[in-house]
Structures are given as structure tokens and as C-alpha cells.
Amino acid sequence: MKCEISTARQLASYFDYALLGPTCRQAEFDQFLLECKRYQVYSAAVNGAWVSYAVEQLRDIGIKVGSTAGFPFGQMSVAAKREEARIALSQGAEEIDYVLNIGKLLDHDYRYIAEEMREMTALCHEQGALAKVILENCYLSPEEIRGACEVAVEQGIDYVKTSTGFGTGGAEADDVRLMKQVVGDRVRIKAAGAMRTLDKTLQMIELGASRIGSGFIPDIIGEFSARHSG
């Protein structure tokens, strides 16, 4: 797949610009929202406490707000993840990135993984929202990545996502190739974690990622603009 991106605005449209750290303060968040507007990213990805504020600030300018559930460890009950997602959706979030139960996947309890994914997907789709499952590939074998992606296809979730950005590693080329091999065009791919450079961003898009999660949009867009200024 050849990546044909000719403008900074086109590149920005791939991004879920993320501010998800535990120490985010108001001034940092306001700067983040200004950058969302400046670069015209696809969405602002925030934790639940910030959803209503982000929705208010980004209303009517075409930038969606996405939120998290079970983030970043995935070790909540399905009921807790559903309630977290339900509240975010009620406040205007249009996408939910939830972390699957990584321990259950490592135990190869695919029945649990499937039921969790079924419930999260149904909740989002009932509200007209997109559902993304975060696999946290850095902890998984290729067989486990494949197994989770097969469940994703079966359950009709919208996206499989590589990483939270809080694990031991982020998106890697081999993992994204494997994910694309399994899901094809039936489920989309979001590459996240370690997405700090233009070259890695373009690589992930070329490999089939249709969404990029990153907290480094100014750097990446700046690199793109500098490279194309001549």
C-alpha cells in the first residue's frame, strides 16, 4: 500500500491527538485543544474526566472527541468498562478506545475476550459511536495478536489498536502487518504508542493503519511541513 499524502491537513486527518497522562492540568489541556483546532486533527482523545469540556470546546468545528475505558491496564470488569464508556458517550464522546483484559488474552480465554468485545461494541453502536479495542501488542505473542484480531472480526468491532502508549512498547511494523493480514478490510487498524516521528507515521499508514494515535502531533506535522516546504 503506497502512502500518498500531499498536505499537512491531509496528514492531520489520520490523527487521534491524545492527551491521556495522569498529571494533565487545565493549562496543558487548553493548549492541547488549541492544537487540535490549529492542526485540524480527526479527533481529540481524552480520558473521561475531560470529555464534556472537550466536546464543548470543539463543538461545531468538525473535530470529534474520543474517550477511553479500562485505560490503560484493562483490568476492570466488563461492567465497569461499559459504565465508563456509557458516561463518556452520554457526555458527547463519539468513539471509545477500550483496553481488553490482557491477562485473559494471555490465558487464551477467547470466550471472555469475545464477550467483553461484544458488549463494548454493542454499547458503542447503540449510541452511533465507534468502538476500538486496544490489544497492547507489546505483551502478546503473534499467535495472541492473531487470536484477538480474529475475535475482532467475528464481533464486528470498528478498530483494533496496537497499544495504549503506557506499555513496554508501541506500534511495530511486524505487528501491524500481522493485524492487517488477519482483519483485511473488515476491521480498521489504529497504530499508537511510540508514534513520535513522521517516518514511523507514514510507515504505519503504508502498512494499512487508517488511524494514528499520538501525543506528538506538532512535532510530526512540523516535520512534514519542513520536509515539504521546498
The one catalytic residue in 81, 161, 180, 200 is: 161
Secondary structure of 165-179 in the HEC alphabet? CCCCCCCCHHHHHHH
The one catalytic residue in 16, 64, 81, 97 is: 97
2 is an active site residue: no
User: Minimal CA–CA distance to 132: which of 103, 95, 88?
Assistant: 95
Indicate the helix (H) or strand (E) that contains 218.
helix 217-227
CB count within 10 Å of CB 104 equals 17
Torsions phi, psi of 75, nearest 5?
-95, 35
Indicate the helix (H) or strand (E) that contains 133.
strand 130-134
107 is an active site residue: no
The one catalytic residue in 64, 132, 190, 200 is: 190
132 is an active site residue: no
Residues 6+ apart with CB under 8 A from 220: 11, 15, 195, 196, 197, 198, 201, 214
Active-site residues, by number, are: 97, 161, 190
